[in-house]
Amino acid sequence: MTLFIDGFESPIGSVHVVSDGRALCALEFGAPEARLLPLLHARFDPAVALRDADDPLGLVSRTRAFFAGELAALDGAAVDGGGTPFQRRVWEALRQIPAGTTVTYGAVAALLGVPRASRAVGAAIGRNPVSIAVPCHRVIGAGGSLTGYAGGLERKRWLLAHERAARSLV
C-alpha cells in the first residue's frame, strides 16, 4: 500500500497531511517521526510506502484555507482515521461540533448515549490521527479547562482563538 504525504508551515508549526488516495488518513503537527509515522505504522503494515505528493486530494489547500480563516474548508473532506467502531463514533461526533465552540468530554459521551464514558471518549479523542478535520481541539475539561491535546496545549489554545476570531468576522 502507498500513502501520499505533503506538508507545509502553518502559523503553529509544520503540518503533514497523509492520504490513501481516497480520503484523509492523518493530519498531524510537527516532525513526522514524532507522532505521525508511529500512528501510520500501527494502523498500516509497518512497511507501508510513504510517497511525497503535491497536495493529495487538495487536502493541503483545504488545510491552508482553514488557517486563512475558512473554517469549513475541511468539513466535506473524506476522512478515514481507521480506529475501532467506538473511536469512529467519537470522531464522527467531533465533526459535528461547530467551529469556534467547545464541548466537554462528558457532553460528547452523553451525545453518544454513554454518559458515564467520558474517560473512554477522552481516550478515543487522544488516538485521533486527523487533527483539525476531526476537531478534537474543541473538546475541553468539565470545568472549562484546556486538557490534553496531542499537538500540545499551546496549539489547542491557538486553534480555539483562531476559530473564535474567524467566526466573529462572519
Fold agreement (2-67, 85-168):
no
Q: In this predicted structure, what is the pLDDT of residue 48?
A: 86
For 139, phi then psi, to 5°, come to: -105, 130
For the chain, what percentages of helix, strand and coil (3-state, to nearest 5) are there? 40, 20, 45
pLDDT at 1: 86
- Map out the domains of the chain as residue ranges: 2-67, 85-168
Task: With beta carbons less than 8 A apart as the criterion, state whether 161 and 99 touch.
Answer: no
- Catalytic residue, chosen from 109, 121, 125, 136, is 136
pLDDT on residue 124: 97
How many helices (H) and strands (E) the chain has is answered by 6, 6
Q: Residue 59 in contact with residue 24, Cβ under 8 Å?
A: yes
Name which CATH class applies to 85-168. Answer: mainly alpha
136 annotated active-site: yes
Predicted pLDDT of residue 169: 74
Give me the CATH code for the 2-67 domain, please: 3.30.160
Question: What does the pLDDT read at residue 46?
Answer: 80
Q: How confident is the model at residue 125, as a pLDDT? A: 96
Supply the pLDDT for residue 168.
81
pLDDT < 70 regions, the chain: 170
Collapsing DSSP to helix, strand or coil, 14 comes out as strand
